[in-house]
A and B are shown apart, each in its own frame.
Chain A
């Protein structure tokens, strides 16, 4: 039986990452070296949820950039709203935003062709990025690095 480490030693799982320019606002200089993110599914078709899982893969190794997922909005710097908002998710979304510590930012990623209410139309506070098409994991990472104002 080969030991676990064999893949890590013979082949580097982490890849070099080249950030691309994304149209976002910066929140505060304090997030230059670390950013904690909390994704919320508000009714997307699961594609974006799966892209968030892919973002956690070793190819991207987001921890090297100081980016971490949190298990609670109370520890998050960025709320990632994934999808258009179903009727029943409007209230949980509002409550989640109320739990975010200051300063915080909100990034909305949705497919403009999807049904239901676009989060953009809900007058949410501190929206630092809005994307009207689904983003791949590497694009989401570029968005986060742009919010941080971090050079890669």
Chain B
């Protein structure tokens, strides 16, 4: 059982937990979770216990540094070479989105869910809409499910390409980087052909999707085939560059025991040998098999992402073939009051929403994001390495301050 969130309601704590692919609220858990303090303090501090000693100083990296890129701060304790401890402050991105959702209609709150993290916009949108659909008792039709799968996999593809591009750039693999950047932009353009938005926003809604681009399906198929072929070739070629591989091999290694203790999910968990993936439990994916690696280092995380890109291309092509032209219909059985959980497998792990509605307005919401656990995993895995490993360690986890700070 994995702890994903702690809900504070009327001075009592309830737990958002995951067990064998199902996420639910546990009101009186018997288990004690190693990541309790991490989740409790997720808006103030993420990291490991601060190291002190002779010659040890704090190197503050961010929020305005070319190497960080996003608004956040890393406090790194070092004596000049080896990293002794890392403390991360995500508050620079804090937008209080959970509070902003209160008293909003599900439709308005859905737009806020999309703005938690622009590059995980569809994952957040899907998890939130599933929570509302569970409250409403709404079952989506097969076509809607397929379109959502395609959008989720498109999001996975461009995020994974982005992560591998960052790793390549960090290792000064300029030619590879340039080709990957080309693929990245092409994948954003494919998103637009499919959903009318480069970041798949304003596409999903409660119980349905706003799909109006069926004329583009053949073009999208062609683009996905090209992407699969070119990425596959580039990736195989990149593995021949020892300069590149040397920078990520055995860098920021994490054991499966550490990953479980942190509550890590997604490709970073699968790179430690654990095949957890929420998609395994969705019939629509048809015999889904999670991609795993066992070494738990930055190279393993990259390998998992690379093969997931190819796998996602196959999933998209399969689902596109099965799409039907029929107009999407759904019958709303709106419940004005109730509570529901919704979740999905985002590019970097589990995104989960717990939502309570009162008079069909959001009364309470809790968002669990994969980046919280990812930053902790980064901090723990980076200890003992040197600062030049920073970008490889951080980028290989595919995490974002926007996702973490909400």
Contacts and interface: CB of A to CB of B under 8 A. Distances in A.
Contacts of B186: 59
Query: Which range holds the interface residue count of chain B?
Result: 35 or more
Contact of B70 (A49, A56, A58, A111): A49
Contact of B92 (A2, A46, A73, A86): A86
A57 B162 contact: no
Interface string B92-106: 111111001000000
Given A45-B118, A57-B185, A92-B63, A115 B402 contact: no
A151 interface: no
Contact of B71 (A1, A51, A86): A86
A88 B94 contact: yes
Interface stretch (B33-41, B172-180, B349-357, B372-380): B172-180
A2 B403 CA distance: 39
B207 to A, nearest CB: 23
A58 B232 CA distance: 19
Interface string A53-72: 11011111000000000111
Given A49-B70, A115-B96, A1 B185 contact: no
A116 B94 CA distance: 10
Given A4-B237, A47-B121, A53 B66 contact: no
Contacts, number: 113
A119 to B, nearest CB: 13
Nearest to B66: A71
B131 interface: no
Interface stretch (A17-25, A35-43, A120-128): A35-43
B182 A13 contact: yes
B64 A40 contact: yes
Interface residues of A, number: 43
Interface string A116-140: 1000000000000000000011000
Contact of A73 (B64, B70, B162): B64
A140 B172 CA distance: 26
B64 A115 contact: no
Contacts of A96: 64
B182 A57 contact: yes
B325 interface: no
B311 interface: no
Contacts of A86: 71, 92-95
A44 interface: yes
Given A44-B118, A45-B115, A57-B184, A7 B179 contact: yes
Interface centre among B94, B115, B162, B185 (most CB of A within 10 A): B185
Nearest to A87: B94
Interface in A83-117: 86-89, 92-93, 95-96, 111, 113-116
Interface centre among A4, A42, A92 (most CB of B within 10 A): A4
A136 B179 CA distance: 20
Nearest to A61: B178
Nearest to A40: B64
Interface in B360-406: 400, 402-403
Contact of B400 (A46, A70, A71, A111): A46
Contacts of B116: 45
Contacts of A95: 64
A89 B95 contact: no
A4 B180 CA distance: 12
Given A7-B230, A89-B71, A45 B181 contact: no
A88 B92 contact: yes
Interface string B64-80: 10100111000000000
A101 B262 CA distance: 45
Contacts of A113: 111
Contacts of B223: none
30 contacts: A1-B240, A4-B237, A13-B179, A13-B182, A41-B63, A43-B92, A44-B118, A45-B115, A45-B402, A46-B70, A46-B117, A47-B118, A47-B121, A47-B201, A48-B118, A49-B69, A53-B165, A53-B184, A56-B181, A57-B182, A58-B179, A58-B181, A60-B185, A86-B93, A88-B91, A89-B71, A89-B92, A93-B64, A114-B115, A116-B95
Given A2-B237, A59-B185, 20 more contacts: A4-B176, A7-B179, A43-B93, A44-B402, A45-B402, A46-B70, A46-B402, A49-B69, A49-B118, A53-B184, A54-B181, A57-B182, A59-B186, A86-B93, A86-B94, A87-B94, A89-B71, A89-B92, A92-B63, A114-B95
Which 5 pairs, one residue from A and one from B, show the smallest C-beta to C-beta distance? Answer: A47-B118, A71-B66, A57-B185, A57-B181, A45-B118
